Each structure stands twice: as structure tokens, then as C-alpha cells.
């Protein structure tokens, strides 16, 4: 017997009278040609501003429709309707977050990196300049450049396993903020589809252009910034179809912070007339050059040897190139769904850096040049099938092959290599399978299952002529569980358990090691998966278009902590750690054009054996946002971020950090003028802080004692942009 939800016909006035109609709370009704906004919506806010609050009966209907339900039955007064639930996502946890187009439109941003700050509890810092991957912190993890956070772009994985600069390295250079349709954040590893590097969580970017038409914007800024962005989104096509380009030239603040980049992205969606099947084709490419200022010793700044915004090594810089192509197919069935994706990608990355000056090599210096190049491809698929009234089975598979070559060399002040550190060439394989079930019974919904992952590497250590080609393989099973209990009137109790996984690096799998003395005190990482076991218990209070409040308690236990060693210039695996924490967040909609949001995350991260704090992990992170998206053409946003003092290596403590960013825009006809203010309060803040030994100023005595180093945060700055719509 089919599951049924029967309501009075009087509630039908709140939804469109069609079997395929979208709920009123979802915004304008879909057009038969796709998911573009209906004509009555003003073009400047189409699909973006929140709708009017629905009544209680409508909320119940909408929750099933949003899950993919189908409305059938007579629609005459006095008759009833039936909601046919289709397979949908599991209950998730209270910490799951989806950032929509309206939130993105009112967010102060310079690049796609800044969108990550919209995920509650996620902090980023940039110790390079635009073009280099940011350092990420989430749920008590210092994920460095992505070692513990899984990131994908329209389903294509962006983490680079065994990247020479950092395992799991994430570069968002392919992402243009104007065409980010939504950003999904999942804390820890509770969902079956979460794969490698999701020990702290997963982030997923969906692309699209809600606002149809052609747009060209030109931005200028106080750092001699010039940015051109254009979006081609023909009316009458789905929101997922667009072409966009971005060109940037920015001298940056201080020395050695210039950035140049060019990005092109196109995505086209083709839907069957019935709307039950679609194909999306994605192509993206980017090229960037950027400075690499690196950290400076705080003591040297305090005694006037170097300025707050200067750097000791003006020759450090980077180059990044990437291209990918992907095709995704989806098919909705009456009692299930099918989806699959294939992609191929090219990657070229070069970086010159110097963290320690002349500490290790007093004559030639410690500068190093890293290079990484790869060609990769992948396949993935997922199927869901309803069995009976309340149970849905789900299975999925994914595979990735990566052919790579990499090198790491010490170079002299003239840029000439004089000492090789690492040189590998090989192939990495990753395979994943998962199977599970979703069950609904009364107020309770559960999703559970298990995934299996396998990694295999075959590679040559080019520094060891006697080693020859070697390889290894390892696998792991990861159970996952999420459960939700509907308490009534928008209240839900949510819980989750999951095992996350970080795959081993290629150099560990084949036993490659650098020359003796290159990484003092560093043990070779084990050729096996690092696992994390996480639990989450939370409460979610949600009233559509009115407010959302969530509170969570979480714990994470990880087998091997990954910490970046500045002297070694690489991340090292150390002992097991545990994290205990709490999150509290709220989002309010006092008016349909106004959004208020605030969140607070407190975490205690310590080594399991010694009880010592994990270095660099934020103990307390808070953020607040105000977003205004008015139908009259006004758009504005304010974002405040606070990071409390946090422990550093060797017993030091980083300073507190606070910054406020603003944006305001006014649309008049086909033109929009926006003004953005970076660091509106002019705070002299430190974006990144570390504690290690260095010797930059050779007029001073050489010492191996660690001291605080930092990267200066962005100063007060103004950017203005004029956008024309055709």
C-alpha cells in the first residue's frame, strides 16, 4: 500500500494546481523548459529572495514535495490529494548546511575561497595570495589545504591525492563566484557518498545561473585590482546552463602578493520533455600566477627589521593550471532514481617557497621549488530504489585513476636546483563501493550502510636508482548511520555515526624517503588509511522562511593526526587525537528580503595519549552575517568573523582574530553598481600564525629555537564594480 499524506483541499491554495507543481516555499514555479524562474518574477531577484511564510499545513506538504514527492488525485473542492514520496536524501545531521543563491548574492567576496566562510564552523586563512589553496579549519581539524575536507565541483572531486604541496590539496581556481548556485556543507563522515578526505567533512559546489540573461561586470580596487567577469545565461534555458569567464589582475597589499588569473567555465543541461531525465556537460579551465609572501617572524617585525606587510623572500611565487571536462546523467524513476558521471582532468602546479630562510642551509638558503603534474579520470554512479512503502535501497560506486609526476628541489638564490628532495612518477587508483538503506516509520527516519574503499599505487622513486618500480594496495570498510526523529511543529532530533577516511600518500605506499637530514625527526607515514570515528547529536528547529535554529554536540577520534612541519616543508603523521565540541547556529528572516545568521563553534582537540592540545586548532570560532536582498533592487551584506586565541606548536598561543567585511549594491534598470569594503574596521590582524624556528635576518645570531611567524591579514580596502545586464 502506498504511503499517503491526506490534507484538506483548502490547503491547495498554497500550491500550484498541477501534479508536477513545486511548493510555494520553493520560489517561482518551474518553467516546462527547465528550472528557470517564472516570468512574473523581477529579473534582478529571480529565484533569490525568500518567499512569504507558509502556513503549517503547507509545510507538511512541502516537506514531502521537496523530497521528490508526486501529487496525485482529484483537486476539486472537498476532495483530497495524495503525496507519493520518492527516494530522497537521508535525515542528515543538525550540522548539515546548504547555502543558497540568496545567501551567496549578499556575501562579501573576492573569490570562491570566501564562500567557504558561509559554512558555520569553517575557518580559512591564506598564507599565500589569491591563486594558492587556502588553509582550512573545521570541527577541530587543521585540514591544511584539504587533507581532511572532501571538496567537489558539480560532483567532480577537487582534492588532489599526493599533491607535492599537500596531501588532498584543494584549489578553487576553477570556481567563479557568480555562477555558484549553492554550496553544501556536511560535517564529519555520516553519509555513504562521502569518500576520501572527509574526516572533518565535505563541501560540494553546485553551479548555475538563477538570474537569466547576459551579464558583464568590471571591478576595480584599491590594490590596483582589475577584474572582469561575464556570464552568458540565455533566457528560456535551465538555470544549470551557462557560460562564464573571469580575468583578474591584482597587485595585492604589501610585497609579493600579486595575482593574475583567467578562468572559463561552461555547463549545459539538456532535459527530456517530461523532466524525468537530464544530461549535464561541464567544461572548466583556469590558469593563474601568484606571489607567495610566506610567514615573517613576529620578533623581526616588532624590532623594525621588516614591515607588517613585507616579506623576506620576494622571489617566492606560484603557477597553477587546471582543466576538466565532465558529463553527468540523471534519471528519475517512479520509485527511485539513477545517476552517473564521468570526468577527465589535467593539472599543472609549480610553487617556490621559503619558510625558514637560511636555518637549514646557511650558504644556499632553504628555498625550495615544487612541481606537480597529473592527468586523471573518474567514473561514478548511484542508484536508489523504493522497496515497499517505507524503505529505499541505495547503492553507489566510484573509481578514480591518476597518473602523476612530481618533484621537490632545493634551489639557490638564482633559482638553480642544487639538491633534490623528492621525485616520483606513478599511477594512483582509488575505488569505492557503498550500499545501504533508508527507512521511514512514523516520526523516525534512518539511513545506514557501509562503504568499502581501496587504494593502489604503482610508482618509481626517481631518487633511488636501485629501487625500481614498486607498488602497494590497501583497503578499508566504513560504516555510516544517520537517524532523525520528528518531534513535531518543525522540531527534529538528529544523530549520526560514521567512519571517515584519509587515503595514504603515494610516497608512503612505495616507501619513498627524502635524503637524510632533509626532514629532521620525521617518520615516514604509514602506507595505510587514516581513519576517523565521529558521532553527532543535535536538535534542529526549522520553520520555512521564518527561522532555523540548530545545536549539536560532536566527538571525533582520529587514528593519525596530520600536522604541517615548516622545516620539513610537508605534512607529517603523528599520534592519535580526539575532538569534543559543540555548535550553535541560528538564521532568522524578519522580512522576506532580510536574513540574519550567527553561529558559534567550540572545540577541544587533544592528543589521546598525552592530553596535549592539537596545534593550530581553533578553540572558539564565531561568525555573524546580515543579508539584504530587496525586490526594489537593493542588495547588501555584512560579515563579521571572530577567531579566539588558539594553541600553536611548542606551547605557543596565536592571537585573537576579528574582521568585518561589507558589500552594498543598487540596481537601476540594466545596470548594477556595487561597493565592497574589505576589513571595514581597519584591523591590523594576523591571518595565519605558526610557531617554528627560522633564520631570515643573517645579521642576527642563528637560533634553532621556535618563534611565532605570521602572515598579515588584508588591510582596509575598497572595491567597486559596475555590472550591465543584456
Domain boundaries, the chain: 1-85, 97-725
Taking a C-beta distance cutoff of 8 angstroms, is the pair 186, 139 a contact?
A: no
- Tell whether the model's pLDDT for residue 622 goes beyond 70: yes
Taking a C-beta distance cutoff of 8 angstroms, is the pair 574, 606 a contact?
A: no
pLDDT category, 53, cuts 50, 70, 90? Answer: very low
Kind of pairing between the strands at 70-72 and 82-84: antiparallel
Q: pTM of this prediction?
A: 0.87
Cell 509545510 sits on residue:
59
Chain centroid to CA 71: how far?
35
Which cell goes with 713?
591579514
Residue 567: its pLDDT value, please? 67
Nearest residue to 113 (alpha-carbon basis) of 133, 97, 142? 133
Taking a C-beta distance cutoff of 8 angstroms, is the pair 50, 545 a contact?
A: yes
Per DSSP, the three-state class of 118 is helix
Residue 414: its pLDDT value, please? 87
Q: Which of 26-40, 169-183, 506-520 has the highest mean pLDDT?
A: 169-183
- HSE, side-chain direction, 13 A CA sphere, residue 261: 33
| Arithmetic mean of pLDDT, 181-185 | 95
Per DSSP, 680 falls in state T
- Tell whether the model's pLDDT for residue 15 goes beyond 60: no
Arithmetic mean of pLDDT over the chain: 86
- Tell whether the model's pLDDT for residue 408 goes beyond 90: yes
Per DSSP, 109 falls in state -
- Tell whether the model's pLDDT for residue 79 goes beyond 80: no
Residue 128: its pLDDT value, please? 79
Cβ neighbours for 266, distance < 8 A, ≥ 6 positions apart: 242, 243, 244, 282, 283, 284
Cβ neighbours for 601, distance < 8 A, ≥ 6 positions apart: 120, 121, 139, 581, 582, 583, 618, 620, 621, 622
Chain centroid to CA 446: how far?
26
pLDDT category, 413, cuts 50, 70, 90? Answer: confident
Helix ranges, 499-610 (H)? 506-509
Residue 22: its pLDDT value, please? 37
Taking a C-beta distance cutoff of 8 angstroms, is the pair 716, 662 a contact?
A: no
| Arithmetic mean of pLDDT, 598-606 | 96
Lowest-confidence region among 2-11, 446-455, 460-469: 2-11
pLDDT category, 564, cuts 50, 70, 90? Answer: confident
Euclidean distance between the first and the last CA atom of the chain, given in angstroms as a whole number: 52
- Tell whether the model's pLDDT for residue 522 goes beyond 70: no
Cβ neighbours for 493, distance < 8 A, ≥ 6 positions apart: 484, 485, 487, 538, 539, 540
Going along 44-199, which residue ranges are E strands?
Answer: 70-72, 82-84, 97-99, 122-125, 135-138, 141-142, 149-153, 156-157, 180-187
Q: Backbone dihedral region of 544: left (phi > 0), alpha (psi from -120 to 50 degrees) or beta?
A: beta
CATH code at 97-725: 2.40.170.20
Annotate 323-378 with DSSP letters as a single string.
EEEEEEEEEEETTEEEEEEEEEEEEEEEEEE-SSBTSS-TTT-S-EEEEEEEEEEE
- Tell whether the model's pLDDT for residue 136 goes beyond 50: yes
Nearest residue to 142 (alpha-carbon basis) of 163, 166, 174? 166
The 10s digit of each residue's pLDDT in 284-330 is: 999 999 999 999 999 999 999 999 999 998 889 999 999 999 999 99
- Tell whether the model's pLDDT for residue 448 goes beyond 90: yes
| Arithmetic mean of pLDDT, 168-189 | 95
The 10s digit of each residue's pLDDT in 216-244 is: 999 999 999 999 999 999 999 999 999 99
Taking a C-beta distance cutoff of 8 angstroms, is the pair 217, 228 a contact?
A: yes
Q: What angle do CA 583, 587, 592 make, to 5 degrees?
A: 170
Residue 233: its pLDDT value, please? 97
Q: What is the rounded CA–CA span in Å between residue 462 and residue 469?
A: 9
Residue 403: its pLDDT value, please? 97
Residue 544: its pLDDT value, please? 87
pLDDT category, 158, cuts 50, 70, 90? Answer: very high
- Tell whether the model's pLDDT for residue 465 goes beyond 80: no
Residue 52: its pLDDT value, please? 39
Cβ neighbours for 707, distance < 8 A, ≥ 6 positions apart: 297, 298, 299, 691, 692, 693, 694
Instruction: Please return the burial class of 27, using the count of CB atoms within 10 Å of its CB with bins 0-12, 13-18 and 19+.
Output: buried
Residue 95: its pLDDT value, please? 84
Residue 266: its pLDDT value, please? 98
Residue 571: its pLDDT value, please? 66
- Tell whether the model's pLDDT for residue 583 goes beyond 80: yes
Q: What angle do CA 213, 218, 220 make, to 5 degrees?
A: 155
Kind of pairing between the strands at 149-153 and 201-207: parallel
Residue 80: its pLDDT value, please? 35
| Arithmetic mean of pLDDT, 46-58 | 38
Residue 468: its pLDDT value, please? 64
| Arithmetic mean of pLDDT, 581-604 | 96
Lowest-confidence region among 97-111, 151-165, 171-185, 454-468: 454-468
Cell 592530553 sits on residue:
611
| Arithmetic mean of pLDDT, 713-723 | 97
Which cell goes with 357?
630562510
Taking a C-beta distance cutoff of 8 angstroms, is the pair 309, 253 a contact?
A: yes
Q: How are the residues of the chain apportioned to helix, strand and coil, as percentages rounded to the nearest 5?
A: 5, 55, 40
Amino acid at each position: 500500500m502506498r504511503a499517503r499524506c491526506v490534507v484538506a483541499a483548502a490547503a491547495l491554495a498554497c500550491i500550484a494546481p498541477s501534479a508536477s507543481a513545486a511548493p510555494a516555499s520553493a520560489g517561482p514555479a518551474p518553467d516546462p523548459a527547465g528550472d528557470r524562474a517564472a516570468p512574473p518574477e523581477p529579473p534582478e531577484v529571480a529565484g533569490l529572495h525568500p518567499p512569504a511564510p507558509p502556513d503549517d499545513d503547507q509545510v507538511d506538504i512541502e516537506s514531502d514535495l521537496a523530497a521528490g514527492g508526486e501529487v496525485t488525485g482529484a483537486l476539486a473542492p472537498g476532495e483530497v490529494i495524495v503525496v507519493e514520496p520518492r527516494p530522497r536524501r537521508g535525515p542528515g545531521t543538525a550540522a548539515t548546511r546548504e547555502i543558497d543563491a540568496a545567501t551567496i548574492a549578499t556575501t562579501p567576496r573576492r573569490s570562491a575561497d570566501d564562500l567557504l566562510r558561509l559554512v558555520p564552523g569553517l575557518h580559512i586563512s591564506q598564507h599565500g595570495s589569491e591563486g594558492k589553496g587556502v588553509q582550512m579549519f573545521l570541527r577541530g581539524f587543521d585540514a591544511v589545504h584539504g587533507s581532511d575536507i572532501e571538496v567537489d565541483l558539480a560532483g567532480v572531486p577537487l582534492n588532489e591525492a599526493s599533491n607535492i604541496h599537500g596531501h588532498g590539496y584543494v584549489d578553487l581556481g576553477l570556481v567563479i563566484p557568480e555562477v555558484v548556485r549553492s554550496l553544501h556543507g556536511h560535517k564529519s563522515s555520516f553519509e555513504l557518498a562521502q569518500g576520501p578526505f572527509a574526516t572533518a567533512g565535505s563541501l560540494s559546489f553546485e553551479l548555475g545561473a538563477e538570474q537569466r540573461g547576459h551579464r558583464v561586470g568590471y571591478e576595480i580596487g584599491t590594490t590596483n585590482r582589475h577584474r572582469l567577469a561575464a556570464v552568458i545565461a540565455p533566457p528560456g534555458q535551465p538555470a544549470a546552463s551557462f557560460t562564464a569567464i573571469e580575468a583578474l589582475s591584482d597587485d595585492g597589499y604589501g610585497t609579493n602578493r600579486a595575482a593574475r588569473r583567467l578562468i572559463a567555465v561552461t555547463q549545459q543541461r539538456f532535459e527530456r520533455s517530461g523532466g524525468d531525465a537530464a544530461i549535464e556537460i561541464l567544461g572548466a579551465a583556469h590558469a593563474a600566477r601568484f606571489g607567495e609572501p610566506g610567514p615573517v617572524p613576529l620578533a623581526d617585525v616588532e624590532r623594525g627589521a621588516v614591515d607588517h606587510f613585507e616579506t623576506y623572500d620576494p622571489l617566492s611565487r606560484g603557477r597553477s593550471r587546471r582543466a576538466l571536462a565532465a558529463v553527468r546523467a540523471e534519471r528519475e524513476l517512479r520509485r527511485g532514481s539513477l545517476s552517473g558521471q564521468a570526468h577527465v582532468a589535467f593539472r599543472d602546479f609549480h610553487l617556490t617557497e621559503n619558510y625558514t630562510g637560511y636555518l637549514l642551509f646557511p650558504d644556499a638558503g632553504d628555498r625550495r621549488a615544487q612541481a606537480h603534474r597529473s592527468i586523471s579520470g573518474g567514473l561514478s554512479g548511484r542508484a536508489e530504489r523504493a522497496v515497499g512503502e517505507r524503505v529505499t535501497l541505495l547503492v553507489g560506486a566510484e573509481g578514480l585513476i591518476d597518473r602523476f609526476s612530481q618533484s621537490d628541489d632545493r634551489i639557490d638564490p638564482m633559482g638553480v636546483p642544487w639538491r633534490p628532495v623528492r621525485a616520483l612518477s606513478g599511477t594512483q587508483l582509488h575505488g569505492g563501493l557503498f550500499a545501504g538503506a533508508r527507512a521511514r516509520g512514523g516520526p523516525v527516519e534512518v539511513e545506514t550502510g557501509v562503504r568499502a574503499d581501496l587504494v593502489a599505487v604503482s610508482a618509481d622513486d626517481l631518487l633511488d636508482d636501485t629501487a625500481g618500480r614498486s607498488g602497494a594496495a590497501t583497503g578499508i570498510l566504513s560504516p555510516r548511520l544517520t537517524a532523525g526523529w520528528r518531534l513535531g511543529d518543525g522540531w527534529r532530533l538528529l544523530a549520526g555515526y560514521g567512519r571517515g577516511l584519509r587515503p595514504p600518500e603515494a610516497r608512503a605506499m612505495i616507501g619513498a624517503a627524502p635524503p637524510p637530514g632533509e626532514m629532521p625527526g620525521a617518520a615516514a607515514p604509514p602506507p595505510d588509511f587514516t581513519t576517523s570515528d565521529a558521532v553527532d547529536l543535535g536538535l534542529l528547529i526549522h520553520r520555512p522562511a521564518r527561522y532555523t535554529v540548530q545545536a549539536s554536540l560532536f566527538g571525533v577520534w582520529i587514528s593519525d593526526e596530520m600536522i604541517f612541519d615548516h622545516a620539513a616543508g610537508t605534512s607529517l603523521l603523528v599520534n592519535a587525537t580526539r575532538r569534543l565540541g559543540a555548535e550553535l547556529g541560528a538564521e532568522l528572516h524578519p522580512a522576506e528580503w532580510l536574513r540574519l545568521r550567527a553561529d558559534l563553534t567550540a572545540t577541544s582537540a587533544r592528543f589521546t595519549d598525552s592530553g596535549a592540545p592539537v596545534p593550530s586548532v581553533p578553540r572558539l570560532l564565531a561568525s555573524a552575517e546580515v543579508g539584504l536582498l530587496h525586490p526594489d533592487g537593493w542588495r547588501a551584506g555584512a560579515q563579521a568573523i571572530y577567531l579566539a586565541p588558539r594553541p600553536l606548536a611548542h606551547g605557543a598561543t596565536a592571537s585573537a582574530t576579528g574582521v568585518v567585511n561589507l558589500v552594498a549594491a543598487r540596481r537601476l534598470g540594466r545596470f548594477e553598481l556595487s561597493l565592497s569594503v574589505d576589513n571595514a574596521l581597519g584591523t591590523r590582524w594576523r591571518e595565519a600564525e605558526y610557531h617554528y624556528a627560522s633564520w631570515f635576518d643573517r645579521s642576527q645570531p642563528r637560533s634553532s629555537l621556535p618563534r611565532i611567524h605570521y602572515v598579515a591579514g588584508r588591510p582596509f580596502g575598497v572595491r567597486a564594480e559596475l555590472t550591465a545586464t543584456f
